[in-house]
A and B are shown apart, each in its own frame.
Chain A
């Protein structure tokens, strides 16, 4: 280097930052800040995790062989299917009714609004387990159900027992209870949409139903989905309450089995593993549904874990290809 305009070595006065010269621009290397405490905390957590895992695996009382034997037993699988069915019915019917209730509550008709309010009040106040027992015993309260003109003649009637079997009663009970919560979740979602949106839609003359479905609902979904996800996962586990109706869903079924063979812990583990599996699927689904409805909310959507992994692999591959190419030219 001849007659550099910037001195080769910069003396630091009392640790003050050296002024940057033009010549430095290309040669400077970025060193990331170090976080020793992060590493320490991570170390502690790892040790604790290892201890917990060790206790879980080595203690014979957990009885892992039995867990393995019953995890995919046909009776358990049937119970899982029933649990999934109850959850699905509870959620779909619950949210349909909940949405209707939310729209009623927000309507300008005071009667509709009060009825919706009363519904939410009632079904949120009575414990789910009591509601289920009422539905279970519906046949005692009303022996026959008749269809016809309200307060007028009935066209035909059926025995309550024939119409509402235990599965229907359970699904209905879950759905009606869920609807009360769903109504509030949906309403909160609609309230979260800015007033300017409705004003713009009204100013454009967009029909009312279309305003709700095309403008409000998709934006409301951004608030609805996370809370609804919570509810759905709650309901997966909530179906276990249905055991009091003697329905062979997951929790009831494992009780039946451990009452027979006495392996309580192992079978509770089987149930726990299945609940974990089901809620995991729900959580992943929620992630993608949320992503779907966050379109336009951020400048760019963050990549999904899958896309991230793929991109990482692609970068690696390119780096390797470049290294090979460099090696080729060097030799």
Chain B
């Protein structure tokens, strides 16, 4: 499904990813943990090619993301083709990034209409259904600034779902929220996980990881230090670094 192999990424002299390998099977939820600056956001952004990588590759359903292979070379794809690939990968940002001048309904419908060119009627139906699913049916005509943070993030999730994505990437979706709003967003994500959505989630919500994740990955200084089922990584970490990190966040 999602196949990340030997991904390297540097910003100038700073090596942020130093050979990351990660597999996520269809319908699985992978939670990525790690200290600040360990490269979690960079890894997610590499998966949908928002960030170009220096070495290694990312493939989804066997299709290379951002590149075309010929022989032993990878040629970068044209922007249009990259955009097409991205339109099947959902991304939920920490800061929501909703389009403030569009209503909730328009935010959700934009990409299916313009990126996937699906018929308007179908998209309208889908939008209504998704807003229902995230509990915001009555906010369809509101503008993002008229919503609470938790509601905005739920709209952002509906917007990602509208792509009917093969995988959804979440970059700290609850970190910008007040504590009492975190629950409603996690509830929506839990519901997605139950219904078999493939997800890669960067979060500091250990409880969510324990309950929902199939695999927990601990990233530190650009390397995956440890990975496995939550019971193993969270409760019986083998690595000293993992233990130190969990000691701090738990």
Give the complex CA separation of A272 and B99 in angstroms: 44
B48 → A minimal CB distance (Å): 6
Q: Which of A182-237 contact B (CB under 8 A)?
A: 196-197, 199-208, 210, 214-215, 218-219
What is the chain A residue whose CB lies nearest that of B95? A196
* Stretch of A56-64, A139-147, A294-302, A321-329 at the chain-chain interface: A294-302
B175 CB–A CB distance under 8 Å = no
Known: A214-B110, A214-B114. 9 other contacts (CB 8 A): A200-B98, A202-B83, A204-B111, A206-B83, A206-B110, A207-B115, A219-B99, A296-B143, A297-B100
Chain B residues whose C-beta falls within 8 Å of the C-beta of A295 in the assembled complex: 101, 143
What is the chain A residue whose CB lies nearest that of B142? A296
Give the complex CA separation of A297 and B145 in angstroms: 7
Q: Beta-carbon contacts of B225-248 to A below 8 Å, as 1s and 0s?
A: 000000000000000000000000
Asked if residues A299 and B79 are in contact (CB atoms below 8 Å), the reply is: no
Give the complex CA separation of A206 and B145 in angstroms: 22
Chain B residues whose C-beta falls within 8 Å of the C-beta of A298 in the assembled complex: 145
What is the chain A residue whose CB lies nearest that of B94? A196
Asked if residues B93 and A206 are in contact (CB atoms below 8 Å), the reply is: no
Asked if residues A204 and B163 are in contact (CB atoms below 8 Å), the reply is: yes
B107 → A minimal CB distance (Å): 9
B226 → A minimal CB distance (Å): 29
Asked if residues B83 and A208 are in contact (CB atoms below 8 Å), the reply is: yes
Asked if residues B114 and A296 are in contact (CB atoms below 8 Å), the reply is: no
B50 CB–A CB distance under 8 Å = yes
Q: Beta-carbon contacts of A278-316 to B below 8 Å, as 1s and 0s?
A: 000000000000000101111110000000000000000
B8 CB–A CB distance under 8 Å = no
- Known A-B contacts A200-B99, A204-B163; the reply to A299 vs B145 at CB < 8 A is yes
Asked if residues A207 and B114 are in contact (CB atoms below 8 Å), the reply is: yes
Chain B residues whose C-beta falls within 8 Å of the C-beta of A299 in the assembled complex: 145-146
Name B's A-contacting residues (CB within 8 A): 48, 50, 79-80, 83-89, 91, 93, 95, 97-103, 110-111, 114-116, 143-146, 159, 163
Give the complex CA separation of A196 and B138 in angstroms: 26
Residue with the highest number of chain B CB atoms closer than 10 Å, among A206, A215, A219: A206
Chain A residues whose C-beta falls within 8 Å of the C-beta of B95 in the assembled complex: 196
A201 → B minimal CB distance (Å): 8
Asked if residues B93 and A210 are in contact (CB atoms below 8 Å), the reply is: no
Give the complex CA separation of A202 and B79 in angstroms: 10
Chain B residues whose C-beta falls within 8 Å of the C-beta of A199 in the assembled complex: 50, 93, 97
Asked if residues B145 and A203 are in contact (CB atoms below 8 Å), the reply is: no
Give the complex CA separation of A208 and B99 in angstroms: 16
Among B83, B99, B145, contact of A205 (Cβ-Cβ < 8 Å): B83
Chain A residues whose C-beta falls within 8 Å of the C-beta of B101 in the assembled complex: 218-219, 293, 295-297
Give the complex CA separation of A204 and B107 in angstroms: 11
A322 → B minimal CB distance (Å): 33
* Closest 3 pairs (CB-CB, A-B): A205-B87, A296-B143, A200-B97
Chain A residues whose C-beta falls within 8 Å of the C-beta of B100 in the assembled complex: 219, 296-297
What is the chain B residue whose CB lies nearest that of A195? B97
Give the complex CA separation of A300 and B116 in angstroms: 32
Chain A residues whose C-beta falls within 8 Å of the C-beta of B145 in the assembled complex: 296-299
Show 28 residue pairs from A and B whose CB-CB distance is below 8 angstroms, ordered by the A residue. Answer: A196-B97, A197-B99, A199-B50, A199-B93, A202-B50, A202-B83, A202-B86, A205-B86, A205-B87, A205-B116, A206-B87, A206-B111, A206-B115, A207-B83, A207-B115, A208-B80, A214-B114, A215-B99, A218-B101, A219-B99, A219-B100, A219-B101, A293-B101, A296-B100, A296-B101, A297-B101, A299-B145, A299-B146
